[in-house]
Amino acid sequence: MNGADAQGGFDLTGSGAEPLRERDPRQIGTIPLVGRLGAGGMGRVYLGVVEGRYAAVKQMLASVVAEDEGFVCRFGQEMDNLARLPAGATAPLLASDRTAEPPWFATAYVPGITLTEAVEPHGGPLPADALWRLLRGLATGLEPVHALGMVHRDLKPSNIMLTLDGVTLIDFGIARAAEQSQLTQTGLIVGTPAYMSPEQASGKRRLTSASDMFTLGLLVAYAASGRWPFKDSAEGSPLYRIVHDTPDLDPLRHLAPRLAEAVAACLDKDPEGRPTAPELLELAAREGPSTPPAWPPLITDRLAGRAAFAANPPTQLPAPPPPEPTPEAVPPAAPPKDSRTRRRTRTLMAVLPVVVIATGTTLALQNLPYVTNSDSAAGAPPSTSATAPKDPSAPPDKNGSAKPESDKTEKTKKPKDPDGDKTDEDAPQGKGKNGDASDGDTANDGKNPSQGKGKGDGGSTDSDASDGDNESGDGGSDTDTDAPSNPTSGPFRLKNADNGSCLTQVYGAADDGTCGDPSARWSTVSAENNSFKVVNKESGSCLVANMLGQAVFVGDCTQGEARLWRWGPNNTLKSTANGGCLDLAYGGGISASTCQSGKTSQHWNR
């Protein structure tokens, strides 16, 4: 039986979760939390216990909710829809509180691993029988959803859970709640670029079940080759290539010719030409294995560990945190400001005007670590968005929708897989979402960083430096002789020497998170004056500095000097715009603060 140990910790062996961090809540609603499953999507996901069973508890980011009451209403509607789904379609809803600040919901813990986690350690491609099982599982999950007139609209490898029993789809409805939010601007796209349908990439607002079927085809093709099915090309963002290019299905044709025909039909640019979920189930029954095959041994071994953990619910839980004392009222030292000014101050502290990142996951509202009374936040980089062209066949716009954006200052090579890279070995990761984190590899400017080779282990690559806490550097000069002259091109992870977490992306913000999170992979693209861009391998967005001491964003790769960095001594990462070093921010998140010799929170090991 699992339970709390003498020190109040919790045995998470086999769960895929990591221990709670100091700033994580210990309870959400009435649900005690025992671990952290992931971050991304639209919130953080925790491992909790509901009525003697494990649960994935997703708490929405406060910045997502902010002051948008319309989102809260739509969130509630999507919870109602989630509750309507029949058993087997997804993880069942156990509890929710749409009126909480921020709202949250809990679903049954899925004792599985994501498709990304399954393909990468297996070394790509899955065998033919496993591919048929994957197709059957995806179609089985989508059939009742589509029968209710619903569309998932954010299927991707990190939202597909493989279990000993089959396949479970997760993260239903949340993308739609974001898309329908009154904060979502006209023409902006919600979703994961590498796994959108052509009509979704082109900005059509009313999607049908055929959109999910296109993504189903992409997922099976990815599992058959270990890479995204659109070949490398000199130009083109994922959106452009989805709308205009032909996917490479040769690896799948070699493994299972009949299955390749079905996937090719799913990838028809015309929604009317795609099969339905029931038609795929009929095909799988006729052409696929007569009995559901087992997953490959490497995958089955990991799934057995998850299943063993889930089969032993806790007998003892950590004690709930004591209630916080109610502070005494303190009279104001000065007369209050005009109410309109106060409201503007509060709003600006809560959110940056909407950031909808089509190279990330869904909707992003950026927390700001400062308050300003001006009409715009000084020093904040412009919002990053992807705008859909009016006509899919027309030349797409410059901001990344379905058109390759040119960058005259640099030429870079396309990576093979926007969701997973075979140079990046399996790292422990927990996905309750894990939306969390998005699956696209191309930069916002339509170019991609070149890649190096290397194996990862728990978030590090073979080229990882040691902790490297040599205290001799002062961190104040861009010409430090002990700084690396040529940054690793990637993919790699940046592991903080102070707390062991890795640099990740949560919407339009940089954060410190689990090294196994898909958004923890980065690469570099050389730029002027020995500087470079730091590009997130999942979203394609770049690390962007703000003013000194303020939050670091992940956004548009074309935003001038703010997205340029250099290596300093002791593996510090210095902004060329403000001279600050990448650092753990007080109260959470990532900032660029004054470089300090010996400050380990500014040391990032590769």
Q: Name the percent of the chain in helix, strand, coil, to the closest 5.
A: 25, 20, 55
Rounded Cα distance between 605 and 52, Å, is: 40
CB-based burial label for 514 (10 Å; 0-12, 13-18, 19+): buried
CB proximity list for 131: less than 8 A, separation 6 or greater: 125, 220, 223, 224, 252, 255, 256, 259
Rounded Cα distance between 274 and 533, Å, is: 40
CB proximity list for 486: less than 8 A, separation 6 or greater: none
Catalytic residue among 68, 97, 129, 154: 154
What are residue 106's DSSP bridge partners? 57, 95
Q: List b or e across 201-216, with b for residues whose CB sees 16 or more CB atoms inside 10 angstroms.
A: bbbbeebbbbbbbbbb
Torsion of CA 595, 597, 602, 604, to 10 degrees: 120
Counting other chains too, the contacts that 533-536 makes at CB distance below 8 Å and 24 or more residues apart are 533/443, 533/449, 533/557, 533/563, 533/564, 533/565, 534/563, 534/565, 534/573, 535/443, 535/448, 535/449, 535/490, 536/505
Rounded Cα distance between 482 and 461, Å, is: 21
Q: How far is CA 412 from the centre of its chain?
A: 24
Per the document, the length of the chain is: 606
Residue pair 418/193 in contact by the 8 Å Cβ criterion: yes
Residue pair 601/585 in contact by the 8 Å Cβ criterion: no
Residue 197's closest CA among 184, 208, 186, 181?
Answer: 208
Residue 556's closest CA among 419, 359, 348, 352?
Answer: 359
Residue 154 a catalytic site member: yes
Written as one letter, the residue type at 579 is G
Catalytic positions: 154
